[in-house]
Amino acid sequence: MIKIKTEAELDCMRKSGRLTGDLLKFLESQIKIGMSTKELDRLAYDYITSFGATPSFLGYAGYPASTCISIDDTVVHGIPSDDIIIKEGQIVSVDVGVILDGWQGDAARSFLIGKCSEEKVKLVNVTKECFFKAVENLSDGTPLGDIGYYVQTHAESNGFSVVRALTGHGIGREMHEDPSVPNYGRKGTGIRLKSGMVVAIEPMINAGTFKVEFMRDGWTVKTQDRRPSAHYENTVAITDKGAEILTL
């Protein structure tokens, strides 16, 4: 069931969204070559809890960390570790979730570490562009399929592919609510978005094949061909005036 938020509830989500966006800006300022992904995760936990909030991911279905940190060919759900060291030339994607006063915020960014290949730079930039191509066309009454159409069209026109095995989602008091929000699809199809709906839109774009593999740890998802992937996500409210991005 899709949950429509009241204006008062949207105000609560604006607060959790703002904290989520600020967290990513903080992590971007702290990430550096030579640090472990576990060290970055600890910084995220300390930041979230210092504001009286709770990390959404920590303990979710048994997940052991406050962030998902995915490097290069890891699409999503990379588990932070003291043994994984951030190196120059990598794409490091950081996905974070925050619960503040019972309301969720969810967002992700892909960071380019030091000097990266032209392919990786283009991939990260196009992934971010995919998100904004989708959002700029959203309003009350827009078919859900338009989101995936704009993401897929922009990604594929740049020579990249769109992950199909994973999608965006509705969000509110729960991290994952209806509807599922695919990053591919046909324009004009699907349910109509309504003012008061809140969704996490999250293009996951691969340099090579769209196919992925789920690792034995039960979380980590890698590209099947082991070519790089990028991820860009924000929590977005549908309003009478269009889309409002809550996590920037």
Q: Is residue 74 part of a domain?
A: yes
50-77 pLDDT per residue, tens: 999 999 999 999 999 999 999 999 999 9
Q: Is residue 2 part of a domain?
A: no
User: 17 CB contacts (<8 Å, ≥6 apart)?
Assistant: 105, 107, 235, 246, 247
pLDDT of 137 strictly over 90: no
How much of the chain, in percent, has pLDDT values that exceed 90? 98
Section 128-141 average pLDDT:
95
Beta bridge partners of 150: none
Section 26-32 average pLDDT:
98
Q: Is residue 1 part of a domain?
A: no
Q: State the total domains in the chain.
A: 1
Q: Is residue 166 part of a domain?
A: yes
Binned at pLDDT 50, 70 and 90, residue 82 comes out as very high
The tokens describing 163, both together, are: 């992950």
Find the helix or strand (DSSP H, E) in which 107 lies.
strand 103-112
Q: Is residue 42 part of a domain?
A: yes
Domain span at residue 16 reads: 7-245
The tokens describing 198, both together, are: 């809140």
What is the CATH classification number for the domain harbouring 43?
Answer: 3.90.230.10
Q: Is residue 223 part of a domain?
A: yes
DSSP 116: -
Q: Is residue 109 part of a domain?
A: yes
CA gap 44, 145 in Å, rounded: 34
